[in-house]
Amino acid sequence: MNFARQIRRTLVRVGELFHRRRRERELADELATHLALHAAEYERAGLPPEEARRRAQIKLGGLDAAAEACRDRRGLRWLDGLAQDLRFGLRQMRKARAFSMAAILTLALGLGATTAVFSLFQATLLEPLPYPQAHRLMSLEVLDRRAVSHGIDFGLARILAKPASLLRKLAVYTSFPAHVRYRQHTWNSLVEVSTPELFQLTATHAARGRLFDAGDVSAGRPVVVISHAFWRQALHGDPHAVGETLGVSSGSFTIVGILPAHARYPFLAGTPPIWLPISPRLIAGLLPNLYRGISPGSAGWGYDVLGRLASGATRAAAAAEFQTRFHNWLSARHTLLYDAQHVRVTLVPLAGLVSRPYRRPLWLLLIAAGLLLLIACVNLANLLSARVGARRVEIVTRAMLGAGRRELMRQWLVENLLLALPGAAAGWGLALAALRLSRSELPLGLGAAELALKPALLLAALGAGVAIALLLALLPAWQAGRWQNHPGSPALANLRHGECRAPRRMRQALTTAEIALSFMLLLSAGLLLHSLLRTLAVRPGFNPRRLLDAYIQLPLNQYKTHADWTRFAAEVLARLQARPAVASAAVAVTPPMLSGGATITQAIQNFGAHGPVGHPLEMALQPVSPGYFTTMQIPLLSGRDFRAGDTARSRRVCIINRALARQAFPGRNPLGKKLGNDVVIGVVGNTMGQTLTRPPAPGYFVPLAQFPVPFLHFLARTKTPAAGFVPEMRKICGADLNGLPIVIRPLESEIAHDASLSAERVHAWLTALLGLLGLGVAGMGIYSLLAYGVTQRRHELGVRSALGATHGQLVRLIVAGGLKLALVGGLIGLAAAWAFGRLLAGLLFQVSPGDLWSYLGAGLLLTGVALAASYVPARRAAKLDPLEALRYE
């Protein structure tokens, strides 16, 4: 058929939506004329008028049917049908308020959770870096033999950061914690030092003022750029901040600019940082020879090199260039730090590096949210199936009156959409609320700051709601077809009695599926929570009770020499130990949990007669004062502690922990043996690493007197609760410091609020929340199934009651039905969860995927909910008045 004509016809039909009354009158006139003219002809043939009219009517057929056929051609009939269905649907919604609420709520939960989790997923894993062409930003990594990332030395970083053919621009940056002063206030902040290229690589421009450039670096100007968050939080958005002076550690810097809010370096969330330009002079002043003992002449480890890969270049090709450069550098010097044969330089996409720690937990959360959505859908199908059962008389009547499968589907589709659209809207609301909460409350790591619902995601949620509505509309149409074809039930009377077996069995299957899915979710949540508990219960290897930490950075203009630093430490320590409230006190540089992730790594190569033996040993170097192990209550396993006699001039000694003893001296007594230049004089127990979930690192302790450092942690074990001693501790430590800032923290609360656990905690609780929501929805499924069953079986229950069944027997009958479902669902869920648990294994700490407690907990919770959900309908069944129930029929 001619396409243009079709369009014309459609347009005409749209126009015909108006002036309907006139058109209806004309149609009636036209048909009446036709009939009259026909009758007139019969009259002319000699029939009496009455008979003529009758004959004409018989010949032409029903007037109404003809008018209806014409109306079908006019206007848009489906639109009228839609309006009718809408009115009917709204009436149905009002009639079944409980059902409507349950359906909308279920859908809102499923869609809301999925939307919120997906936007988290998107912000963190899909678009973790808010910079143009962020996928081309590459981090240069020096990997050792075990593919573990090696630190990059400043000298090496400068060599690597020279422009290459495939990475034309590179930047070097690192960070360290320091005290920051602005006017009268001080904070402990993260200080980033970077080359100006970092801003160019990420195409970042200052929101206020300017960013530092190559000129600042070469002139050695003391300038600082602050992050937007730092400006807002620490400086309270001071409009005159640019041009003011900011004190960093012992130096003073001029604030030249503020970064835009979206710019995050070093690409991770955390303390809002400030940036200083890397210049040798600056580093010499701020990062004093902390690392002198390890790598003479270098400014230490821990530098990152970042570059932008040229378009079309492959990572491997670019890495090869740096590999050559690295080997040239290595052969020109003698360092034991890199094992030349095995070290490789690789390019790792920054986005992946940044989001790596969140990848598995977020995938898990996404799967969990998907499962919740699935449970919600199954529950909807379940609810709807009950609804179809309750309205079967209406459905069959419609079908008998000529409604086709399409009409039935359309009507139910409209009704489902009336539930799905508010459901999707409520889901949006839930997702928005959840994201607002997570922005302000949850330290979810990166991406949390930019969390926002993307319009595309909202549309996707809406689309999912509509798709679900569409899919579920198939159910009644299919059911109606079955009822019609049911051999025994063409009569409505039959339908009214009891229900057909098929839909009941289907609903049982659906409920079982819900239970199985929510059991899976619950179990994963249980495993994660148990893992979290295990982590929190980890014995850190020392006793944090009543232990206070005071952190001091010595001002280098005042304390110039190693002797100054050593003297300061000894004096403060003596004053602390003199207090009656202090049981013992000591000094450390990188105590576990307290150094903010800073460690001093040392590598030692053992040499035999024929050159190096084995691979270099890497260990965490920890300068400590005598009494450190007593104060921390770390057990001394053999040998002796450091004593006042171990000074810079005496023999160099060290104490190692058990992990290092096992690595360096397997099966031998380490006491008296040499490790590097130091003689081992003692072995102590392991302590946890910088975070609780890390295995104990090989630990290497040296006397502070032989390894002086100007960053000191004073540790005091108090006899009374530690909080009461804080003011005194501040006074003692700060007596000589002219008001220099001191950070004092009780270790107990540090461990409880270990930042490294916050992400794990959030993931575990979120999964638990999703699991509980799933369980709630499944409980609703059990309840609705049984409640509907009780209504359906009213007659049977009445008969049982009349025949002498006691309340208890009736309650048991119904509850047993519910428990049977829970048992079957639970068993299926068990099998699925067992498989799913394997996926979780990598996220668990000291908990196996087959953890008995988690299985027990999930099982008990499920049984409890099943019992509660069956008990309410069961009580209703028991309370049925037999006479009433029998009369109902």
Partner 1 sequence: MAGKNDPNHKREIWPGTLVLMVLKSLETMGPQHGYGIARRIEQVSGQELLVNYGTLYPALIKLEQEGYIQSEWGNTENNRRARYYRLAPAGRKLLAEEARAWQRAHDLLARFWRPQEP
Could you tell me the smallest distance in angstroms from the CB atom of residue 73 to partner 1?
4
Antiparallel, parallel or unpaired: β 304-309 and 167-182 = antiparallel
What are the tokens at 32? 């009446």
Cβ closer to partner 1: 51 or 68?
A: 68
Binding of residue 62 to partner 1 (CB under 8 A): yes
Q: Which stretch binds partner 1 (CB under 8 A): 61-69, 320-328, 726-734, 817-825?
A: 61-69
Euclidean distance between CA atoms 430 and 112, whole angstroms: 5
Pick the binder of partner 1 from 3, 21, 45, 61 (CB under 8 A).
61
Could you tell me the smallest distance in angstroms from the CB atom of residue 832 to partner 1?
55
Binding of residue 70 to partner 1 (CB under 8 A): yes
Cβ closer to partner 1: 33 or 669?
A: 33
Binding of residue 21 to partner 1 (CB under 8 A): no
Q: Find the helix or strand (DSSP H, E) in which 257 lies.
A: strand 251-258
Residues 108/426, Cβ–Cβ less than 8 Å? yes
Euclidean distance between CA atoms 328 and 879, whole angstroms: 89
Cβ closer to partner 1: 10 or 749?
A: 10
Cβ closer to partner 1: 5 or 497?
A: 5
Could you tell me the smallest distance in angstroms from the CB atom of residue 33 to partner 1?
5
Residue 302: φ, ψ to 5° = 80, 25
Under 8 Å CB-to-CB from 645, ≥6 apart: which residues?
none
Pick the binder of partner 1 from 24, 40, 232, 254 (CB under 8 A).
40
133 sits in the region (left: phi over 0; alpha: psi -120 to 50; else beta) called left
Binding of residue 55 to partner 1 (CB under 8 A): no
Q: Which stretch binds partner 1 (CB under 8 A): 69-77, 294-302, 410-418, 708-716?
A: 69-77
Euclidean distance between CA atoms 678 and 681, whole angstroms: 9
Detail the DSSP E strand segments found in 210-250.
Answer: 223-226, 245-248
Binding of residue 8 to partner 1 (CB under 8 A): yes
Cβ closer to partner 1: 71 or 579?
A: 71
Cβ closer to partner 1: 55 or 820?
A: 55
Binding of residue 459 to partner 1 (CB under 8 A): no
What's the distance, Cα to Cα, between the start and end of the chain in Å? Answer: 57
Binding of residue 38 to partner 1 (CB under 8 A): yes
**Dihedral angle sign, alpha carbons of residues 838, 843, 848, 853:** negative
One-letter amino acid identity for 715? L
Could you tell me the smallest distance in angstroms from the CB atom of residue 132 to partner 1?
54
Residues 360/524, Cβ–Cβ less than 8 Å? no
What are the tokens at 652? 């160099």
Antiparallel, parallel or unpaired: β 167-182 and 245-248 = antiparallel
Pick the binder of partner 1 from 17, 36, 578, 883 (CB under 8 A).
36
Pick the binder of partner 1 from 25, 73, 567, 651 (CB under 8 A).
73
Which residues, 784 to 813, sit near partner 1 by CB under 8 A? none
Pick the binder of partner 1 from 22, 50, 58, 65 (CB under 8 A).
65
Pick the binder of partner 1 from 17, 28, 37, 437 (CB under 8 A).
37
Cβ closer to partner 1: 35 or 726?
A: 35
Could you tell me the smallest distance in angstroms from the CB atom of residue 45 to partner 1?
13
Pick the binder of partner 1 from 54, 55, 74, 575 (CB under 8 A).
74
Cβ closer to partner 1: 38 or 221?
A: 38
237 sits in the region (left: phi over 0; alpha: psi -120 to 50; else beta) called left
Binding of residue 58 to partner 1 (CB under 8 A): no
Going by C-alpha positions, the residue among 144, 164, 411 that lies closest to residue 306 is 164
Residues 347/139, Cβ–Cβ less than 8 Å? yes
What are the tokens at 104? 């909308």
Pick the binder of partner 1 from 33, 165, 328, 650 (CB under 8 A).
33
What are the tokens at 417? 């959409």
Could you tell me the smallest distance in angstroms from the CB atom of residue 773 to partner 1?
53
Binding of residue 29 to partner 1 (CB under 8 A): yes
Residues 798/880, Cβ–Cβ less than 8 Å? yes
Q: How many residues bind partner 1 (CB under 8 A)?
A: 29
Which residues, 151 to 210, sit near partner 1 by CB under 8 A? none
Residues 670/656, Cβ–Cβ less than 8 Å? yes
Going by C-alpha positions, the residue among 112, 116, 760 that lies closest to residue 438 is 116
Detail the DSSP E strand segments found in 697-836.
Answer: 699-703, 711-718, 743-746
Cβ closer to partner 1: 66 or 283?
A: 66
What are the tokens at 539? 């014995």
Pick the binder of partner 1 from 9, 436, 545, 674 (CB under 8 A).
9
Binding of residue 69 to partner 1 (CB under 8 A): yes
Using the 8-state DSSP alphabet, how is residue 453 labeled?
-
Distances (CA, A) of 550 to 277, 595, 734, 744: 29, 11, 10, 4
Cβ closer to partner 1: 39 or 704?
A: 39
The mark string for 399-428 relative to partner 1 (x by CB under 8 A, - otherwise) is ------------------------------
Euclidean distance between CA atoms 170 and 200, whole angstroms: 9
Q: Which stretch binds partner 1 (CB under 8 A): 29-37, 231-239, 351-359, 871-879?
A: 29-37
Cβ closer to partner 1: 12 or 400?
A: 12
Pick the binder of partner 1 from 5, 94, 334, 610 (CB under 8 A).
5
The C-alpha R_g of the chain, in whole angstroms, comes to 39
Contacts with partner 1, residue ranges (CB under 8 A): 2, 5-6, 8-9, 12-13, 26-27, 29-31, 33-34, 36-38, 40, 59-62, 65-66, 69-70, 72-74
